[in-house]
Structure 1
Amino acid sequence: MREAISAAAAPDDRRASSASYAHDLRAQLLSLEGQHHEAADALRLALATDEGNPYLLTRLGEEYSLVGDLTRAESELRRVVTLHPRYYPGRMMFARVLLEARRPARAQVQLRQAIRLKPREPEAYLLLAQLHLDAKANARAVGVVEQLAKALPGEISGFRRLGLALTERGDAARAQRMLSRALERDPGDVESLIALARLHEKAGRLQSAEDCFARALERDPDNAAMLDAAGRLALRLGSSVRARAYFDRLLANAGDPELAVQVALVFLSAHDSGSALEVLDAVRKGRGGSPRVSFSAGLVHERMQHFEQAATAYAEVPDSSSLADDARTRRGICLSRAGQHAEALKLLRASLSAYPGDTELEVQLARALERGGEPELAVATLREAMKREPRPDVLEALAATLKRQGRAAEALDVLRDAVARMPGDPAPRYVLATVLLQQGDEAGALSWMRSVLQVEPDHAPALNFIGYLLAQRGRDFAEAERLVRRALALRPDTGSFLDSLGWIHYRRGDYPRAVEALARAAELEPEEPVILDHLGDAYQRVSRPGEAADAWRRALELLARMPEAADPADQRALIERKLKLLPTDASGR
């Protein structure tokens, strides 16, 4: 109580006298205009008629500091604290000038004096805490803020500001403690909740991070940054439902079709193609569509083997769009896959007319010709492309086309001729090895694939091929694992390589490690039936029949859409047999 009375008696509110008021007002106007030298002159005139006025002296010191004259600023402010030792604003301005002059010890003295004058005023505490932070004395800064909390029980700015500052400085433990203290006093403080969420996320406490964002959104439900962050966290936690709730609100508020594309990409990165498609299709049905939204929807539909829907989405891209050419090509490919051969060929030929000599387009045109019942024309198209530019993708397409037409020997001749013409190129050797394996020539496949490594020792697919083949045949697991791990070191997080590693573990009988590798492979390539088949086998071995059944059923769904992905050819029948052998409750019957 005595402190409160003393503070009230201090001349903190003393302003300029009536005699100097005009000069003070002019000084204020000049300062607002950035004319600080002129403002200082006006204040000196005010002090001529109001000598020793603490308010005017403090203002003069401030104007001097604004023009960088710290010596004169310090001189004027020293007069203030000498003549008026209980004048709080003078103490604070003096402390700020001393800090700017890099005299933290003297500034600290003035700040502690200011705290004694007004123990319930946060400003001095906060500046003193900042002083300690700048000196890397984080513990002392915490002590000052704790002192403020005792003096002013309902105040949270100290805890919040120190928590934010400590977060920036990487002192996560103290930052979390300060932010938690702020939230104890105001559970809905949005700034503290956001900062605490970021800390939790960085520490891997994803659920706690999402909870913080959810609490912050109760106060600020349309905050775009928080909705985006909460949606991403929900996805990382495996909840597409919660993620959709956050992202749907984000999109509804934004009204920006391009944002829908970004949200769809987030879902795709989480291997949730279905939700990505729902987001894009919802925008297409509304009024906020755009060429990029339609094109992106086409890509996702195509990825999910929805070829007719993909073609429809690509058709929405107008000719005036920069995406028009790509959309026309992709539409042609999808129509070919959907069995609409005449229209597909028309579109692909139009694309090739616009980009003559584009070998990728020639490969796609040849595949469409083959699907449309013109295999000879497909082969001729690819041979012509090979003459002009013997690229690996064209060679592989030619060999595959010949093999599908029952002309495997001719395919091998083409490949051997390519190896002879391009002895330093690993691509013909690689394709030759794959064709030999498809024909059942395991020894020849291994020999040619090893020759790939002689030409290019770091050829990751060849390393993986050999490793997987050795494991599949139950031969030399040590070498198989060494080769596949080398492939993964070259191309980390490659689903097919992780599948090989998991299969090596499986064939060795190390089923827990097989599950770990295969589950990660399935996350990376969720629409690869071979990986899902292997994962189901591994789950069954570790007595997780329900998850085995789920993996096998997903593999069957994919094989129904793309039977050409079966490996071996009777893979679908083999999976169905495995499902029938599961217990009734596990297989879902």
Structure 2
Amino acid sequence: MLLKTTTSIGLLLALSACASQATKEKTNPEQLQGIVVPSAPSDPLNMRADADFHFIKGDVFSREGKPARAIEHFEKVAKLDPNAATVYMRLSAEYKKLKKTKEAILNAEKAIEKDPKSVEAHFVLGDLYSSEKSYDKAIAQYNAVLRLQPNNSDAAINVGSLYAIQKDFKKAEQYFDTLLKNPKFDIPYLVHYYVGLMRIDQKAPKYELAAETAFKKALKVKPDFEDALVSLANLYLQQNNTKKALAVCEDFQKNQRFSTKVSEMIAQIYIDDGDLNKAYGQLDYISSNAESTFDAELKMALILIKNKKLSLATEKLNDLVTKFPTEDSARYYLAAVNEESGDAKNAIQNYLQIPAKSEHYGEAMVHAAYLLKGQGKINHALTLTSKVLNENSDPQVYIMHASLLEAKKDYATAADVLEKGLTKYTDNTEMRFQQAIMLDRMGKKQPMITQLKKVLAQEPFHVQSLSYLAFSLAEMNQQLPEAEEMARRASELSPKDGYVLDTFGWVLFKQKKFSEAVKVLEKAYEYQPSASIIAEHLADAYSMQSQAEKAQQLYKKAAGLTKDEIRASKIRSKIQNPS
């Protein structure tokens, strides 16, 4: 962490005047015949006017956040007066905005070439070298600043910090110690702070106490030094001493000026400890005192969501969307609350307003497509996911697009989409699992088994794959002992999932372990009483245990729970002829 120069670059450019003496001799026009007359030298006043014009234009574009346009004009100034150090500084600053560090460095070097005594230029060049991790070159520039201004505290701190960054802790310690002994050094609290950071970087228990001592010394000299306080609190948190971290933060908050950093740390400690009510109060305190309140208010909304206070969360998020229209996080969470509240219309509307550049874009489009699918608008949802696939490579987009194709029974295309996704996300087990399902839908049992085994090789406790593979093997009457082991493992991992328990019960049934199967299937039915397949399986188990009355009742219920008339007819046939 280095200090950055705070000196502003002047807005006016000192241009060197170049004067030319006009010839006083008159020439006979006849003497000019056949002779090429050179153009008259540029008027110095016009050159100065042009330079001023382009400098002002460059400055305007710079202020408007258009560095490329600013560079065009500053370069014209440099051509008009190549000896002006200030314009090279401006060029360096604009190139830095464009993250063109090489060009920024070259222009800072030119500025120093034109004005070797420019503290500003040496400092800026030091910062640029430091950003490129050219630490020795950076130190040389900060030392150049110190030669020009021996008491420049910022440059001195940066030299010591760079020694520490290079892990030359002994040299850094000696340097910092020299600074503290210098009576003209006016910011000793910063030295203590950087010593503390250096001690933490040394990563040994014996240095943690030294770091704590250094941060406390910094706070003794400057009690309102929030960076030192936050670093001290973080040190305590790293030591799992939440009580101490909270105590120093609350003491700072009570006795010093308002600090957003410190208040946010207090709120986060409460959140991590699960005390959401105190966290909410602290965030409310931040929103009443901080200049920028979005982060605090968003966290307040998320706490309301966590506490299932959805109407209050909706109100808070609507307010944030109004106050901060460009903050797409607020709209995304508003859509999520709409969805959880069952307000699909507003949820879809808000999800679709999330811009493509947003980190939430892919997820938002997946949710919108899911809701559209729930409304039976499969084609609309497919249009959306098709568009998103061309803009966003989020794996969930591939999975959702395939699920929409599955709903249209276009299993082959769905499998192709997932295959394409797996070329980008070879380790995505959820995508591979969905591909296995598509292969199963197409009747490709062996490729389906291969894909499921790949998932389990990568993620042995993938519950859905364990259960699906076990059920498939049971239906094929293959490797039943292996299927039982997988189904048992899945049921242990997810003991309240009715479908997982149904698989386990069905594998037992297939092995004629009817008594065990009944017990497991009864639990499955208890957790998922509206699942036709589970009711049918339990009825089959009752039938094999000579519990005909129970079996008949469940067959009737199973038939009534399915919308597939062919399947319902098959179930009803068991009422008179139980297997």
Q: What is the TM-score with the length of structure 2 in the denominator? A: 0.43
